[in-house]
């Protein structure tokens, strides 16, 4: 064999040895660090088992809009958080019949229909009473009739809160709240937070020129 052919054979043999070594290394199992080999994919499974559990998301902040998932799972997700109230301390006073009187509002409404004031002031007093109800229940009384509003203000509500004395002189036998001329006030709900208040005026008929209407958005006049 001539020297050229011998060199070519040696090069081919060396290349075969190197290729075999590389292939053997690539296919051989890896050391897991615990002194034993593992099958392909076993490491991934073990690490997955060791992963910490998912932590539940914290309670939604009042300033963050609810997610679509929260709206699906909780129909009250858009409702504001209830106020933290203590019904056993002023201005609340628990009665023997189980109702709770909101004394400041009851006292305020004693001035309803006083002869020394305008009818607009009467309507403003009613708005303040409804405002006190709204701040606790986060909505106005769900009612369209005078009688239904009065029921909500005299204890027929979730907390049995009373905002107007059930014996008030402006209430008739049908539990309607009357203006100074003896006609039931009109409460017109615009939304869960807006309400219009009106009196039929001296002629006792709504829709005439002497009607007195307090539209939502008019500034309140505080009593001096």
71, part of any domain:
no
Which residues span the domain enclosing 129? 105-214
CATH code, domain with 130: 3.30.700
Q: Residue 218: is its pLDDT beyond 50? A: no
The whole-number pLDDT of residue 193 equals 82
pLDDT in tens, 5-48: 566 666 777 777 777 766 666 666 555 444 444 454 555 445 44
In a domain, 83, yes or no: no
Report pLDDT for 26: 62
pLDDT tier at 211, thresholds 50, 70, 90: very high
Angle at 80 between CA 75 and CA 86, to 5 degrees: 120
Alpha carbon separation from 72 to 67, 129, 182 (Å, rounded)? 9, 35, 49
Least confidently predicted of 69-83, 156-170, 189-203: 69-83
What sign does the CA torsion over 140, 148, 185, 176 have? negative
188 in helix, strand or coil?
Answer: strand
Q: How many residues does this entry show for the chain? A: 224
The answer to whether 163 and 133 are in contact (CB under 8 A) is yes
Q: Which of 25-29, 50-54, 178-182 has the lowest mean pLDDT?
A: 50-54
Higher per-residue confidence, 124 vs 2: 124
Is residue 177 included in any domain, yes or no? yes
Look up tokens 């020129």; give the residue: 209
- With respect to residue 141, please indicate whether it lies within any of the assigned structural domains: yes
- Per-residue burial over 167-184, b if 16 or more Cβ lie within 10 Å, else e, is ebebbeeeebbbbbeebb
Report the domain count for the chain: 1
**Sign of the dihedral through C-alpha 168, 172, 177, 182:** negative
pTM of the model: 0.61
């Amino acid at each position: 064999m001539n020297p050229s052919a011998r060199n070519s054979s040696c090069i081919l043999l060396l290349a075969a040895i190197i290729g075999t070594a590389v292939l053997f290394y690539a296919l051989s199992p890896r050391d897991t660090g615990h002194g034993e080999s593992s099958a392909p994919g076993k490491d991934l499974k073990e690490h997955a088992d060791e992963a910490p559990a998912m932590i539940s998301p914290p309670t939604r902040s009042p300033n963050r809009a609810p997610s679509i998932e929260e709206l699906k799972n909780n129909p009250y997700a858009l409702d504001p958080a209830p106020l933290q109230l203590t019904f056993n301390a002023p201005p609340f006073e628990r009665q023997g019949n189980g109702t709770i009187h909101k004394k400041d509002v009851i006292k305020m409404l004693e001035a309803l229909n006083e002869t020394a004031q305008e009818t607009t002031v009467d309507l403003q007093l009613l708005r303040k009473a409804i405002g006190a109800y709204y701040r606790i229940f986060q909505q106005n009384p769900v009612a369209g009739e005078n009688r239904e509003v009065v029921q909500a203000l005299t204890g027929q509500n979730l907390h049995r809160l009373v905002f107007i004395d059930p014996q008030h002189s402006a209430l008739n036998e049908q539990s309607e709240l009357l203006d100074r001329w003896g006609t039931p006030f009109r409460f017109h709900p615009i939304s869960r937070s807006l309400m219009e208040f009106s009196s039929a005026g001296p002629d006792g008929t709504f829709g005439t020129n002497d009607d007195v209407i307090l539209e939502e958005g008019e500034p309140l006049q505080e009593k001096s």
